A and B are shown apart, each in its own frame.
Chain A
Amino acid sequence: MIADIGYLAILLSLLLSIYAIITSAIYLKTRNIKFFKSSNGAVYGMLLLTSLAVVSLLWLLFKGDFTVKYVYEYTSSDLSWFYRLTALWAGNDGSLLLWLWLLIIYTALVVKQNKIKDATPIATIILLINSFFFLFVMAFLTNPFEKLIMAQIEGRGLNPMLQSPGMIIHPLATYLGYVGFAVPFAFSMAALFLNQSDDRWIKVTRGWTVIAWLFLTIGNLYGALWAYEELGWGGYWAWDPVENASFMPWLTGSAFLHSVMIQERKNMLKIWNIVLIIITYVLTLFGTYLVRSGILQSVHAFGSSALGKYFLAFTLFVLVTSFVLMLFKIKLLKGEREFESLISKESSFLFNNLILLGMTFATFWGTVFPLISEAVTGNKITVSIPFFNTVNAPLGIILILLMGICPLIAWRKANIKNIIENFTVPGVLSIILGLILYFYGVRKLYILLGFVVTFFAFTATVWDVMKGIRTRKRITGESYGLSFIRLLLRNRRRYGGYIIHLGILMMVFGIIGSQGFGIVKQATAKVGDSVVIGSYQINYLDLKQTKDGKNVVVYAELQIKKDDRNIGKMTPHKVFYPTQKQPSTEVAINSTWIEDLYIILAGWELDGNATFKILINPLVKWIWTGGYYIVVGTLFALWPGRGSRVGGKYVKYQVNSFEGVEKNEA
């Protein structure tokens, strides 16, 4: 019954999406406001219906109605209510419903806000075409409410690896990010349709873009955290095709966030920005295609492959039509200001963009090359981790170097004085650090360079803030503390960006540390034995078995000492789920700012001998902590009110651009 209601809601929503597209189009033709209102009503109706569908599926999952195929496949009656609900996005059909629901929520918000009167209907049509596609897929290909022919009394259960808190945030955040880029994309296309060559579409969708980027960042980060804690192989990133799929739009989205600043401030890079937003949105679709098609071997590919064709077709459709539209309107975007100097903020932003795109292209190449090779030559090949590291490590180092340079270098044309003023102290300090590290035995080129460049970007950023404080103190006579707080609050967009940069630098610091100085050791121990790794001594006390609900847990009790000081017990374990054939490994991690001690219980014999895989992963905690800085920085920059607008270092410039914004919006 409820399953029927859910499916009916999807069908009705599909009809409404067609209706809303047609009425919006009629409105554009006739300018009769009635049609506009009717179309908006249809969008709200879709919101209501898809919400009903989501609630229906949640209810079925909660109740454990095993007559429904989706509920049967992804839950079982012993699963806690919490993970029953999260099974909404555990499988293909449910996660598509979630995606659609988010898209419609966003569309309704766009309609409600109605920020650019003439552009909103067009943007709405573009978003609705996307909804239509998803609704069509769900109505005819992957109905989440499909019933089983033979009723079942027990479900197959949720994969244990998905029963982890990380699995709540990672998919939700990733989807919120993916779908979020649809909005700036829709407005960019609307601007082209309307022959609007200014940057209104960028200003209006800036909040959307930044929030989408933030969610995608969180999504990727929690994906890495989940891999680190749940998959139990000791790492957090493996250049898996699906990881790449969400890394690529993150890269292009980051490029877009930077290059729109140049358009807003200098009216340059118009074509470039449109290209970037198209690529970013298409990459989110492409990512979904990769996950659904099953064409690549991956850590979390969904099985169904019939869906792949449709997604590929839709992705290509979006790519081709948006590029054709752009080429038709290319004249509109031309005639922009030229770069005045190679050494200026504008060009450093351009270089940052090129590097980000270079990384995207390399990652894309590595991900799809096996497919191309097989299609063209028939040779089946595989691209492995060394490829991605070889390409992305040096590019990443250049990117971080630019992160230190970009914010400080002058607009238009930097002169020698400006460069000396900004970069002498950070440069000298970084070289000193490099020498110290070298002296202490850090000899691997990338590791050494990575640390030096990260430190340079860090000191350059701090140096710039200090200069700002001094200037402000001189002009206003405030104390250092007050100057610092006011400086940040009055230019929140700028300093929010700095906080985000700080977060990225922390992550890079963690990545370099864990890549460069990790230790792995495997050991088999008798009860009572101890194993030494690094400065740790691990005493194997006992092997025990216990029950956790219906699951049987086998765990090793380990007493850990570091430099002869007791730091507590760790219990790596394996869980036997009744619904699964194989036990699942739960690692034990002791995390500090310096390093993680990461212990896997690999196996045991009946006599109590157990095998452990032990890793020391340095600085990993910095990666996750950097993520929090990014969240704080983004919110700081976005929080509405004074100080959140485009602003410069100099008070006068800020007023000018403030007026500019007002005029544009009037």
Chain B
Amino acid sequence: MNNRTRLILAVLIIMGAVGFLIFFGMQQGVGQILTIEEALQKKYDINISFIQMEGQINYDTVIYEPNKPLITFDITDEKNNITVIFKDVKPDNFDSGYPIIVEGRFLEDDRFLADKLLVKCPSKYEEVTEAGGET
């Protein structure tokens, strides 16, 4: 094997490794953005690693237990409701009435466990609120 072949082989190995890592990463890091209605239809789809959906908070249903901390509330698109649980402190602008985006997965009892909650702030710079642990 001459140098050129060896070099090409090495380059191919590196490219292959990068390709594999991307493929591997896609298996766990990619989620579906669904409407609330679609989310309800697809909640048992095992091919979806996580779901992102947007809706309004139904403020009548909010239960906030700061000492755990835990927020439970219904997210709604006017027709359908999904109960969301978010194990974190309440974000700054949670009560602002703006639409929110939640990211997570359905539990066996049909509630939605969110590990990320984002308030769609109309300001030019949107604030992100992340769940804990993602340093």
Chain A residues at the B interface, C-beta cutoff of 8 Å: 91-92, 159, 161-162, 231, 233-236, 238, 240, 297-303, 338-342, 347, 350-351, 354-355, 358, 361-362, 365-366, 369-370, 379-391, 394-395, 514-515, 518, 520, 522-524, 574, 581-585, 600, 602-603, 609, 611, 613, 615, 617
Determine if B130 is an interface residue (Cβ-Cβ < 8 Å): yes
Query: Cβ of A382 and Cβ of B30 under 8 Å apart?
Result: yes
5 closest A-B pairs (Cβ-Cβ)?
A: A387-B29, A602-B89, A358-B18, A524-B67, A380-B33
Query: Cβ of A387 and Cβ of B10 under 8 Å apart?
Result: no
Of chain A, the residue at the smallest CB distance from B97 is: A581
Contact of B25 among A234, A386, A520 (CB under 8 A): A386
Determine if B41 is an interface residue (Cβ-Cβ < 8 Å): no
Name the prevailing secondary structure of the B interface residues.
mixed
Contact of B24 among A159, A361, A390, A617 (CB under 8 A): A390
- 14 CB < 8 A contacts A-B: A159-B125, A233-B128, A233-B129, A235-B130, A299-B128, A338-B4, A382-B30, A383-B26, A383-B31, A387-B29, A391-B21, A522-B89, A582-B93, A603-B89
B1-59, CB < 8 A from A: 3-4, 6-7, 10-11, 14-15, 17-18, 21-22, 24-26, 28-34, 50, 52
Question: How far in angstroms is the closest Cβ of chain A from B29?
Answer: 2
For the complex, give the distance between the alpha carbons of A395 and B14 in Å.
10
Query: Cβ of A342 and Cβ of B6 under 8 Å apart?
Result: yes
Residues of B within 8 A of A342 (CB): 3, 6-7, 10
For the complex, give the distance between the alpha carbons of A358 and B18 in Å.
6
Of chain A, the residue at the smallest CB distance from B132 is: A520
- With A302-B124, A303-B124, A583-B92 already in contact, the answer to whether A362 and B132 are too (CB < 8 A) is no
For the complex, give the distance between the alpha carbons of A288 and B18 in Å.
26
Residues of B within 8 A of A524 (CB): 66-67, 69
Query: Cβ of A362 and Cβ of B3 under 8 Å apart?
Result: no
Determine if B126 is an interface residue (Cβ-Cβ < 8 Å): yes
Of chain A, the residue at the smallest CB distance from B92 is: A582
Determine if B127 is an interface residue (Cβ-Cβ < 8 Å): yes
For the complex, give the distance between the alpha carbons of A301 and B128 in Å.
12
Query: Cβ of B52 and Cβ of A300 under 8 Å apart?
Result: no
For the complex, give the distance between the alpha carbons of A91 and B32 in Å.
32
Residues of A within 8 A of B21 (CB): 362, 390-391, 394-395
Contact of A234 among B22, B33, B68, B135 (CB under 8 A): B135
Determine if B74 is an interface residue (Cβ-Cβ < 8 Å): no
- Interface size classification for chain B: 35 or more
- A366-B25, A611-B67, A613-B88 given. 5 additional CB < 8 A pairs? A341-B3, A347-B10, A384-B29, A584-B92, A611-B89
Residues of B within 8 A of A236 (CB): 135
Question: How far in angstroms is the closest Cβ of chain A from B62?
Answer: 13
Query: Cβ of A299 and Cβ of B126 under 8 Å apart?
Result: yes
Query: Cβ of A611 and Cβ of B96 under 8 Å apart?
Result: no
For the complex, give the distance between the alpha carbons of A201 and B118 in Å.
47
For the complex, give the distance between the alpha carbons of A388 and B30 in Å.
10
Question: How far in angstroms is the closest Cβ of chain B from A405?
Answer: 14
Contact of A238 among B11, B18, B50, B134 (CB under 8 A): B134
Residues of A within 8 A of B130 (CB): 233-235, 238
- With A366-B29, A381-B33 already in contact, the answer to whether A231 and B128 are too (CB < 8 A) is yes
Query: Cβ of B128 and Cβ of A388 under 8 Å apart?
Result: no
Of chain B, the residue at the smallest CB distance from A365 is: B22
- With A382-B52, A385-B134, A582-B93 already in contact, the answer to whether A300 and B14 are too (CB < 8 A) is no
Contact of A615 among B4, B89, B101, B135 (CB under 8 A): B135
For the complex, give the distance between the alpha carbons of A231 and B128 in Å.
7
Of chain B, the residue at the smallest CB distance from A518 is: B135
Question: Most chain-A Cβ atoms within 10 A of its Cβ — which of B22, B29, B32, B130?
Answer: B29
Question: How far in angstroms is the closest Cβ of chain A from B118?
Answer: 8
Residues of A within 8 A of B7 (CB): 339, 342, 347, 350
For the complex, give the distance between the alpha carbons of A338 and B30 in Å.
41
Residues of B within 8 A of A394 (CB): 21
Query: Cβ of A234 and Cβ of B103 under 8 Å apart?
Result: no
Residues of A within 8 A of B29 (CB): 366, 383-390
Query: Cβ of A581 and Cβ of B96 under 8 Å apart?
Result: yes
For the complex, give the distance between the alpha carbons of A338 and B92 in Å.
60
Chain B residues at the A interface, C-beta cutoff of 8 Å: 3-4, 6-7, 10-11, 14-15, 17-18, 21-22, 24-26, 28-34, 50, 52, 66-69, 88-90, 92-93, 96, 101, 103, 116, 118, 121, 123-130, 132-135
Residues of B within 8 A of A384 (CB): 29-31, 50, 103, 116
Of chain A, the residue at the smallest CB distance from B89 is: A602
Residues of A within 8 A of B14 (CB): 351, 354-355, 358
Query: Cβ of B66 and Cβ of A361 under 8 Å apart?
Result: no
For the complex, give the distance between the alpha carbons of A342 and B118 in Å.
49
Question: How far in angstroms is the closest Cβ of chain A from B25?
Answer: 4
Residues of A within 8 A of B68 (CB): 522
For the complex, give the distance between the alpha carbons of A342 and B129 in Å.
47
Contact of A351 among B10, B31, B93, B126 (CB under 8 A): B10
Question: How far in angstroms is the closest Cβ of chain B from A372?
Answer: 12
- With A382-B52, A603-B90 already in contact, the answer to whether A339 and B3 are too (CB < 8 A) is yes
For the complex, give the distance between the alpha carbons of A520 and B87 in Å.
12
Of chain A, the residue at the smallest CB distance from B122 is: A303
Residues of B within 8 A of A389 (CB): 29
Contact of B126 among A298, A338, A522 (CB under 8 A): A298
For the complex, give the distance between the alpha carbons of A302 and B125 in Å.
7
Query: Cβ of A381 and Cβ of B10 under 8 Å apart?
Result: no
For the complex, give the distance between the alpha carbons of A355 and B89 in Å.
39
Residues of B within 8 A of A381 (CB): 30-33
Residues of B within 8 A of A611 (CB): 66-67, 69, 89
Question: How far in angstroms is the closest Cβ of chain B from A394?
Answer: 6
For the complex, give the distance between the alpha carbons of A92 and B125 in Å.
11
Of chain A, the residue at the smallest CB distance from B34 is: A380
For the complex, give the distance between the alpha carbons of A297 and B52 in Å.
12
- With A161-B127, A234-B132, A238-B130 already in contact, the answer to whether A354 and B11 are too (CB < 8 A) is yes
Query: Cβ of A585 and Cβ of B92 under 8 Å apart?
Result: yes
Residues of B within 8 A of A581 (CB): 93, 96
Query: Cβ of A391 and Cβ of B22 under 8 Å apart?
Result: yes
Query: Cβ of B33 and Cβ of A358 under 8 Å apart?
Result: no
Residues of A within 8 A of B18 (CB): 358, 361-362, 391, 395
For the complex, give the distance between the alpha carbons of A301 and B123 in Å.
10
Question: How far in angstroms is the closest Cβ of chain B from A453?
Answer: 16
Of chain B, the residue at the smallest CB distance from A299 is: B128
Query: Cβ of A602 and Cβ of B50 under 8 Å apart?
Result: no
Question: How far in angstroms is the closest Cβ of chain B from A117?
Answer: 38
Residues of A within 8 A of B128 (CB): 231, 233, 238, 240, 299
Query: Cβ of B30 and Cβ of A383 under 8 Å apart?
Result: yes
Of chain B, the residue at the smallest CB distance from A340 is: B3
Residues of A within 8 A of B135 (CB): 234-236, 514-515, 518, 615, 617
Query: Cβ of A613 and Cβ of B89 under 8 Å apart?
Result: yes
For the complex, give the distance between the alpha carbons of A341 and B5 in Å.
11
Contact of A382 among B33, B69, B93, B126 (CB under 8 A): B33
Question: How far in angstroms is the closest Cβ of chain B from A90?
Answer: 8
For the complex, give the distance between the alpha carbons of A121 and B100 in Å.
53
